[in-house]
Amino acid sequence: MHISEFVRIIEKVLPPVTAMDGDRIGVQVFTGNGEVHSVLTCLEITDSVIDEALLNACDCIVTFHPLLFSPLKIVTTTNRIGRCVTRAIKHDISIIAIHTNYDAYPQGTNFLLAEKLGVVPERALVADEIVVGYGMGLVCSCKQPMSATELVQKVREVCGSPVRYSEGPNSRITHVAIVGGSGTSFLRDAVASGAQAFITSDVKYHTFHEASESICLIDPGHFEMEQFVPEGLAKLLQEESKDFENAPVFRFTSCNTNPVRYTI
């Protein structure tokens, strides 16, 4: 399958128009003859992901976090971005970025976490203005009411990380808002949605103060919220490509690309 055809398949289910303004989605590295036979999906590209692609003869990597975001002033092998770009070109590996258009997909980033937590998605937190059914974040209902402590414990179990949180004023949580990744800009939307808890990441100290009088705010970590994306993305693209005679094969990375370490 040519990369142009593969991109059309991607854009049909993950319309670029649903991505946030300024997001760097789409083809980031185009190499070789443009044919895509084997695809590796990942959260972000590191040297270990490139190694894995080479080991499995993958000629395309679909990454959730764009490798190229800010304009490069120089390509050098002394840093991760330059090194990965250089290695991808050298080994004829094309790179495609899928980011907030997957966040906006109804069964995307936030749905995957909601499914793991056992809460029921009801609607987008902020509906897309163009594509019906898409939008940023999710508002989910709990199958049974729970306390903030119970929800935090569940998040900790699912995400596998220490959790920072502020309890908020509500003793019973029946609805949870979720925005994977850096989602504190959606705090007021979460409060307005009627949810008693908001799960997102990269929360600043003063934002916990701001939230404490209105909503339980939970931060399990950026990678931890999005760790289910590579598998979900591989399954989605495989499903969308299955009727094409020349469909590529898909696999998701086994690499832990989280640069953050914890000590207890």
User: Where are the domains positioned within the chain?
Assistant: 3-99, 104-226
With a CB cutoff of 8 Å and minimum separation 6, the contacts of 170 are 148, 196, 197, 215, 216
Longest dimension (CA), the chain: 59
Q: Residue 162: which of 260, 254, 232, 229 has the closest Cα?
A: 260
What is the pTM (predicted TM-score) of this model? 0.95
Q: Which CATH number fits domain 104-226: 3.40.1390.30, 3.40.50.720, 3.40.630.30, 1.10.10.60?
A: 3.40.1390.30
* H helix or E strand, kind and range, residue 93: none
Q: 104-226: same fold as 3-99? A: yes
CATH superfamily of 3-99: NIF3 (NGG1p interacting factor 3)-like (3.40.1390.30)
pLDDT (tens digit, 0 to 9) for every residue of the chain, 264 residues total? 999 999 999 999 999 999 999 999 999 999 878 899 999 999 999 999 999 999 999 999 999 999 999 888 888 899 999 999 999 999 999 999 999 999 999 999 999 999 999 999 999 999 999 999 999 999 999 999 999 999 999 999 999 999 999 999 998 999 999 999 999 999 999 999 999 999 999 999 999 999 999 999 999 999 999 999 999 999 999 999 999 989 999 999 999 999 999 987
